Amino acid sequence: MKKNKLSIVISAYNEEGKITQCLESASFADEIVFVDNSSADKTVEIAKKFTDKIFIKPNNLMLNTNKNFGFSKATGDWILSLDADERITLELKEEMLSATRHAPSGVNGFWLPRKNIIFGKWIKHTGWYPDYQLRLFKKDMGSFSAKHVHEMITLKGETAYVKEHILHYNYDSISQFLTKLDLIYTSNEAEQLLGNGYVITWADALKMPIKEFVSRFFAREGYKDGFHGLMLSILMAFYHFIVFAKIWEKQGFNQISDAKILPQTEIEVRNAHKEIMFWFFNEKIKSANGIKKLLFRLRRHLI
């Protein structure tokens, strides 16, 4: 019997446009376990060309539940969890096979870096790289808690890292981004925050999106991704604004005094302006020399 048999588990819903390339990249595996979430297109028809181990499950926005089911049906010594919009490169294939053959004692899983291709460009900053994912693990050693759409696999034992990347063709269009934002991600995020006892204040309507923009565009150097970085930072700020709005809705559209809105909004806008200008000067200081560096530091101090 072959040692270190590899099972690749894929869970998909209405992915006829992307699933062929995903399955082609996974065709080297000893086994492909395909969980279809009641697709209405040709996803299953295409999958049948690559594997006969296909399971149909009810569509569940928390797809991690069905991924766990797929893990339970895998027979390999190692499992790779792969999404329909992801691809395995030849280099990653070779490194994974080597990693599973020579895994150090106690290491039951591997983190894989991921290249996110968003709106046609590899995003190297803005919080999307290296985007490590815990995807390769020993059978029965890992699973999702299935509570959050962005959660990582929980693993028993130690982990290590591989160098080669998964290719992730993340968002193809603005409409796709907004659809997932509304139907999947923000509702789940709002429920998680409420479940953890989070209580919003009106100021979070400004603080949450501004904090996210600053984090993406400045702290995680989104500006180095050019206009893509700016647009993605704004879109992610909007994402967090919608999270706030859905929490506000779930808490009954709480009101505050109309008389307080204007003066308190002015305070929050001024604070946001100070923080953003601080970051602008911080970046200018990095590239300046001599007297300019001193002047930028002084101006930053005076904000």
Model confidence over 196-255: pLDDT tens digits? 888 888 899 999 999 999 999 999 999 999 999 999 999 999 999 999 999 999 988 887
Task: Say what the pTM is.
Answer: 0.91
Q: CA 183 → CA 177, 180, 229, distances in Å?
A: 10, 5, 24
Q: Band of the pLDDT at 61, cuts 50, 70, 90?
A: low
- Residue 138: strand pairing partners: 78
Contact 55, 34 (CB under 8 A): yes
CATH class for the region spanning 6-169: alpha beta
| Region label for 143, one of left (φ > 0), alpha (ψ between -120 and 50) or beta (otherwise) | beta
Task: For the chain, give every domain's residue range.
Answer: 6-169, 174-302
Q: What is the pLDDT of residue 111?
A: 98
What pLDDT shows up at residue 1?
56
Q: What is the per-residue pLDDT across 63-118, written as a single tens digit (0 to 9) for each?
A: 689 999 999 999 999 999 999 999 999 999 999 999 999 999 999 999 999 999 99
Taking CA atoms, 69 is separated from 13, 122, 180, 237, 269, in Å, by 15, 32, 23, 34, 48
